[in-house]
Amino acid sequence: MSDRTEDNTSMLDKIFSEIEQDRDRLKLQVHLLKADAKDEWDKVEKKWHQFKGNTQHVGHETKAASKDLLAATQLLGEEIKAGYKRIIGSL
């Protein structure tokens, strides 16, 4: 594996870990969420499952496809982090 691929994997692992921590904490409190926060949770959960699948494919794609998938996955990860932070802020 090249250094660049390892860097990309490490970066995605870090984002994945941060999201997973927020997700696990929120999962324990989801029953307390207001209706609008519950709707936000449902939207972000769909993105979470897509992100989780994408992170598994980044290292397995061709370089050109991997670059596009990496960019899309990073963007999706940032959207998920922002969504979870909005939910945390509404608690």
> Could you report the per-residue pLDDT of 30-65, keeping only the tens digit for each?
767 777 778 888 999 999 988 888 777 766 655 656
Please check whether residue 73 is in contact with residue 12, taking contact to mean a CB–CB distance below 8 angstroms: yes
Q: Is the pLDDT of residue 17 over 90?
A: yes
Please check whether residue 5 is in contact with residue 58, taking contact to mean a CB–CB distance below 8 angstroms: no
pTM of the model: 0.58
What is the C-alpha separation between 63 and 49, in angstroms, rounded?
Answer: 23
Mean pLDDT of 11-25: 91
Mean pLDDT of 60-85: 81
Please check whether residue 11 is in contact with residue 73, taking contact to mean a CB–CB distance below 8 angstroms: no
Q: What is the pLDDT of residue 61?
A: 58
What is the C-alpha separation between 82 and 67, in angstroms, rounded?
Answer: 23
What is the C-alpha separation between 3 and 73, in angstroms, rounded?
Answer: 19
